[in-house]
Amino acid sequence: MRARFLAGAVALAAAFSVTPASAAPTSHPAAGTVAFTDSHGRVLGLRGFNVDKYDETTPAGIRAIAAHGFDLIRLDITWARLEPQRGHYDEAEFRKLRQLMDAADRYGLRVVVDFHQDVYGPKYGGGQDGAPVWATRDDGLPFVADPNDWFAGYFQPAVQRAFQHLYDDADLRRDQADFYAHVAREFRGHRSLLGYDLFNEPSGPIAGDPTDPSVQIAASAALERGRLAAMYRRLIGAVRSVDSSSWLFVEPTVLVGEGVPTRLPGFADPRHGTARIGYAPHFYDTDVENGQDWNPSDGFIQNYTAAITAYPKAHKMPVLVGEWGPPNADTPGNTELVSQQVAAMRQFAAGWTMWYWGKGTGGYTPLGPDGRPHAGDAPVFSPYARELAGSPVSEAYDPATRTYTLRYRAGGRLPTRIVLPPSVYADGASVGVTGAGRIGITLRQPRDGWYGTADVTAPAGALLTVTVTAL
């Protein structure tokens, strides 16, 4: 889930640099980032939402996400919920998750399965979120919950010691790896399965005063270079023992949100062929998480973008932002934040999943009680190129005029498919294309609450500008 960071950490970010390393997939021509492609080589848009952290998602909810035109979900699963006793798996919970995967198969969504945790596990509150009680060892150290700041639980001695045991104890390492292999065995074969986010918002022991930003940054760097990197190598091996094709995503610590670049090393992929290791940071502003309206002059977007780009570029990894979004998008600053985050992610990310799908008046929900998108979340529900046949140049959307513009160089006979969300084009859309050669347009208007599409075909090499406007 979201994280709250220590004030002052950003001042120390400049002390860190990322050591380049080599890797190999094809880059996204528009942004210099690695893109995901379909089986025909078309660049995928990949945008959607987190679901099922609270064990509430149904196949109908998956269908609703698809109906709005999204093509990705991050399915938040937890070890405690699925293996409540060592070696005994909850078949009813796995059955439910398979039903959600079946729904994603049926409605054309891709799925990143997220191994989720917050404050280690249920021994420290939060329901069944994280590692089971049987895998929690804290040596009897104290834990005092702060009802006004759940994230402060990470700095409690018991929680830090529990993480240390998980990283260090041979039997817990083996139990964790067995669980990951079991999950991969359960989900393999689903055509919707894109991959696995290996560990949500990793944390660990801090040697010194955890309220000191310099101490926390040093502890984060040591964790990423040492215990966390070793865990990722074990978990990569565990999943690869069962599944040789899915993407595997590593996360940095939450300090990336304060502009602190990750110190994670590169990771080898034991699969045959090109590596499929991706980078899955989160994109949260500290003050917004603490209930304030966003201040556009705080440098958050610029600091985050600077911190996030060097590592995946050095290792030729795609970026999939696993979580982002304000608690309430309808305040003036937060409305601007959503707009700027969507624009920024077009430049550095191959995909994203917002936190969190649902209806409500706040609490990160993108839909109001009436089921319509919050006004501040309009950029989230914008048109986008879901499958782009060629090389992207630029993509933009103006919510005020409901005008979408895509420039790209066509790559062949297959169509580029643009999603026309029903919340934007309920009364229909007009599509115009400029470019050389014989251009084809097939328009399917949104109807019955389901998204429409515009398919554009053009000769290879043609430079096109596609403009979609509301009727």
Domains of the chain plus CATH, in order, are 9-381 (3.20.20.80), 384-471 (2.60.40.1180)
Sign of CA dihedral 50, 341, 3, 295: negative
pLDDT in tens, 365-394: 999 999 999 999 999 999 999 999 999 999
Task: Determine the average pLDDT of the residues in 16-38.
Answer: 50
**pTM (predicted TM-score):** 0.94
Rounded to whole angstroms, the Cα distance separating 312 from 241 reads: 25
- CA-nearest of 435, 442, 443 to 466 is 435
pLDDT band at 32 (very low <50, low <70, confident <90, very high): low
Helical packing angle, 157-168 and 227-240, nearest 10°: 50
Q: How confident is the model at residue 152 (pLDDT cuts 50, 70, 90)?
A: very high
Is 80 exceeded by the pLDDT of residue 141?
yes
At 403 the pLDDT is 96
Residue 286 — very low, low, confident or very high, per pLDDT cuts 50/70/90?
A: very high
**C-alpha span between 98 and 213 (Å, rounded):** 42
Asked if 82 and 109 count as a contact pair (C-beta separation under 8 A), the reply is: no
Distance CA 260, CA 306 (A): 9
| Predicted local confidence at residue 1, as pLDDT | 44
Task: Report the C-alpha gap between 409 and 385 in whole angstroms.
Answer: 13
Tell me the C-alpha distance between 305 and 259, whole Å: 8
Kindly state the tokens that stand for 275.
Answer: 């590596």
Number of helices (H), then strands (E), in the chain: 10, 21
pLDDT digits (tens, 9 = 90+) for 199-255: 999 999 999 998 899 999 999 999 999 999 999 999 999 999 999 999 999 999 999
Please say whether the beta carbons of 5 and 255 come within 8 A: yes
Q: Other C-beta atoms within 10 Å of 275: how many?
A: 19
Q: What is the pLDDT of residue 127?
A: 83
- Distance, CA of 246 to CA of 184 (rounded, Å): 9
pLDDT average, residue stretch 43-55: 97
